[in-house]
Amino acid sequence: MNYSDEEIVKEVLAGEKQLFGVLVDRYQRPVYNLMLRYAQNSDEAADLTQDAFMRSFERLWLFRTGEVFFPWLYSLAVNLAKDWSRKKNRQQAKMHILQYEAADRQADEDENNSSENRQEIEQVQHGLMELPSRTREILILRYRHGCPIQDVAGVFRLSESAVKMRIKRGLAQLRDILLDKQSQQS
């Protein structure tokens, strides 16, 4: 039986804790990657992912009928990541950037893409890491996870028009970064 997220939330609130595992299965990857982008260290990212899911479990009763679970969870995760970021020394995070990048290359989910296309994706991925974190996460949530503007606005507590503006600016910034890199290479 394929339960919707909202049905699962109801069951978990009724005491079926084990069903929370279905939600973890569905969303651990995006949340883990979100944390990885902030922490740039796989151990820290794993710990933060655990904390994000635990926070969502503890606050599940606040989840309102009619809401969509993923943006709600993502919003908690983004806030957690931002709090963590504020506390963490930036220099220390930078030390791990190589580790993140090296491991990232191992992920090979787009085997069907041509090598040229893979290279382009990699460039975009690197370019994203140079954007301000909020802009980067808005772009990822919108394009990678296909979230509607309304949900993205909810996650970042912005108006829909502000989200559209940030997406537009983010794309322009990303394009500039990519052009910059191309000119450096040539």
Residues 65, 7: Cα–Cα separation, whole Å: 10
What are the Cα distances from residue 149, in Å, to 20, 142, 161, 182? Answer: 27, 7, 9, 31
Q: Among the candidate windows 1-9, 67-75, 150-158, 172-180, which touches another protein by CB under 8 A? A: 172-180
From the list 31, 32, 42, the residue with the least C-alpha distance to 75 is 31
Looking at beta carbons only, is 7 or 58 nearer to another protein? Answer: 58
Coil vs helix vs strand at 16? coil
Pick from 3, 4, 58, 99: which binds another protein (CB under 8 A)? 58
Pick from 4, 99, 125, 150: which binds another protein (CB under 8 A)? 125
Q: Among the candidate windows 1-9, 55-63, 74-82, 148-156, which touches another protein by CB under 8 A? A: 55-63
**Cβ-proximal residues to 30 (8 Å cutoff; 6+ apart), any chain:** 70, 74, 144, 145
Pick from 30, 63, 155, 166: which binds another protein (CB under 8 A)? 30
CA angle at 106 for the pair 100 and 107, rounded to the nearest 5°? 95
Pick from 3, 4, 7, 43: which binds another protein (CB under 8 A)? 43
Please state whether 112 falls in left (phi above 0), alpha (psi between -120 and 50) or beta. Answer: alpha
Residues near another protein (CB under 8 A) are 13-15, 17-18, 20-21, 24-25, 28-33, 36, 42-43, 46, 49-50, 53-54, 57-58, 61, 89, 91-92, 95, 103-104, 106-110, 113, 116-117, 120-121, 123-125, 128, 139-140, 143-144, 146, 171-172, 174-175, 178-179, 182
